[in-house]
Structure formats: C-alpha cells, structure tokens
Amino acid sequence: MDILALNCGSSSVKYQLFDWKRKEVIAKGMVERVTIGDSFIIHEVPGRDTYREEYECPDHRVAVQLIVKTLTNASQGVVKNMNQISAVGHRVVHGGEKFTCSVKIDDAVLDAIKDVQHLAPLHNPPNISGIEAAQAVLPEVPHIAIFDTAFHQTMPEHAYTYPVPHEWYKKHGVRRYGFHGTSHLYVSKRAAVLLGKDPKNCNIITMHIGNGVSHAAIKNGISVDTSMGLTPLEGAVMGTRCGDIDPALPMFIQQVENLSAKEVDAVLNKKSGILGITGQYTDRRDVIEAAEKGDKRCQLALDIEAYRLKKYIGAYMAAIGTLDAVVFTAGVGEMGWMIREKALENLGHLGIHLDRDKNRKTMTRKKETMISTPDSPVKVFVIPTDEELVFTEDVVAILEETYTDHMNFKYSFAESSFQRS
C-alpha cells in the first residue's frame, strides 16, 4: 500500500510517497514557484542523486500532474503507474470547529473546508486547489484531509474564547484554533516514549519553531492551550509574522501611514517578525551570522525571539502544572542551538537545567536528543518532527476503518519499538 501525502501552499506543493508495508519513504520532493513563473520540481529518492526539472506550473493542477509524471517517469520515477497509489492525504490548515480529526473527503467535506477558508485566506485556498487538482488527476483513489487545527480542538472554552463580543464567535467563528497540530501531536507522543510514560500521564510544552512558530501546552496528553489563534498570525515571533502585538497597533499604522486594512494585514504577515526587526533576514542562520559580526538589529531579533519563547514556557507551566518536558522541533527548534540556549537561560528555578555542551552539539533533523542535564527535573528534548508520518497513519487507519481520536488510536511512533527511518 503506497500513500501519497500532499501539502499545497500558495506557491508550492510538497509531496511524499510512503510504502506502508515496508514502512519507508519511497520518494519525496517539492514543486516550487507554482502560479508565479519559473517553477521547478526537486525530487528525492533514497540512494539516488536529487533530480531537478524546470517546468512551468501556472496552477496547482499542473503541479500535481508534474508530481505524477515524475513519480512514474521511467528513469526518475519509483512506481510503474499511479494504480499503485492507494490513497492521497492532504494537509488542510484550517478546519474551523467542523473537524476534530482527519476525514475522508467527499463533496460535503470539501464544501465545509471552503466554508471556513475566510479564517485562513492565505492557506486554505491553495489547500483546496490542491485537493481539487489531485482529485482530477487521481479520481479513483480515496482522498483524506488532515487538519492542522484538529489536535487543538481539545482546548477548554476558557482557553479558546477571546474577550470580544460573544456574537463574533456565534456569527463568525471568532476564537482561538491553533495550528501545526500534526507536528505537536507527533513530538508529544515521541516525548512520552522518551519519558517512559503513557501520554495520558504527561505534561509537555512543545515548541515548533521554523519560519512559522507555535507552541502548545499539553496536559495529560491533550492540547489545552496553544500560541496561534484564529489565524497563524498570533503568538510567537516568526520569520515574517509579528505574533503577539497591541491590537490597536494595526489601526494606528493604517491611519498614520494611510494604508488599507489589506495592506496592513500583508505587512503583519509577510514583512514583520524576524524580517521586520532585521530588515533583511528570515533565516535564523543569517541572523546569527550577522549578529556575530556586530549587527545590532540581528542581535535584537535573537533577543526578542528567545525572550518570547521564555515567556511562553513560563506561562504554560503555570497553565498545566508539574511539567515533564519541553520539546523543541521544526527547522529552528531542531538546528538552532543558540536560540534554544537563550530561551532556556536562567530557568533553573523552574526545574529546567540545560546541558549547554550537549545542546550546542545537537544540530540534526534526524536524531532525538535529550539536551537537559541528567538530574534536571524537567527534561528538554530536541525531536525532529514527522508530520507526513502522521498524515500516512491517519490515511491508512481511515482506509482500514480503525481510526479514532489520537488518545486512543495506536500510532506506530507512540510505541517504544519505533525506529525512525
């Protein structure tokens, strides 16, 4: 059984083909610059050289067709034909309150995803385009939606409700939803294994730090709070997103700069965060290098990001009580030793003791590592995330009719015997 996972962004389509029987990735890659010109595909197969091909993709349907062509190509492909594909799993960023778990896509489900696309106007439209494109190219196989928001639907009402007129929630669905759910699910389950405990007995703070950044407070195995909100703009400092700010700030800037609401929204989403502070960088490696050469704005960006991370750790410890572990994941979380060190500095009074030498040596996208001292009451882990494996296991379980909520469903990666491929 081969499962194709698709993650459609506004100008890219990531994919992974997974052999469920052998439990291994057959191929993965990305089509970049979809809809904007000069598009190309990067195709990776274990044991082979990376393949790149320039190919114009004016829309997501052409991009999905290119993926199919590449997967079945006589020289670069890995399957003889697409009949070997048993199902397609689709990342959908926003499911609103309608979806609390992954589901098989039919007309009603697709309509429901469209109904909440106004809650994620930068993300859901390309997700929808990708689903429709894949259904057109692969009409005979089941298509499954995996929602970023689903994992956080266990938040209590007092955590997800905003202190604004309640009619906004009733009429427009205004509340905190949270994102990166599959990542938080995966690394929290892996952390429970490393702790040698049942997830239901674990209190964990998970910190997904990449270009997008979100944190989750996980109490007794379920998400009870998370940093992103109605949209992915709220919360931590991110690559180009501002995160938490004074809500009056956008209106103030709109007036003094004579900008439209749409223009201000674009600045807060695409020109703020690390980019806004430094004026030129989003990649933390560039920021660190420039800071080491004396760039004060880059140093400020690092200080701000680490300070915000530290505040979230403290806030979530207050929310969930006795803490078992803090987990860092995603690109910066897995590779950025300096940011981890600054975020965890002087937290000994909270029971967090960092092994600085081990932390500095931990820069990998493959290995799970404990970077706290052996006697630290709160353990600190770096755990590479694997959202595509969550996609795949949800898809297979739905096909086999064994799927249930994540606290009762037995994921392979939640077992002590699990070996990362």
Catalytic residue numbers? 148
Pair type for strands 222-226 and 203-209: unpaired
Contact 206, 171 (CB under 8 A): no
Q: What is the distance between the alpha carbons of residues 151 and 140, in angstroms, rounded to a whole number? A: 29
Give the C-alpha distances (Å, rounded to integers) separating 270 from 2, 242, 264, 286. Answer: 36, 9, 10, 18
Separation between Cα atoms, residue 341 and residue 335, nearest integer Å? 12
Is 383 within 8 Å of 191 (Cβ atoms)?
yes
Phi/psi zone of residue 127: left (φ > 0), alpha (ψ -120 to 50 degrees), beta? alpha
H/E stretch holding 132 reads helix 124-137
Task: List % helix, strand, coil for the chain (3-state, nearest 5).
Answer: 40, 20, 40
Question: CA 53, CA 280: separation in Å to the nearest integer?
Answer: 29
- Calculate the alpha carbon distances from 124 to 7, 21, 84, 148 in Å: 11, 32, 28, 11
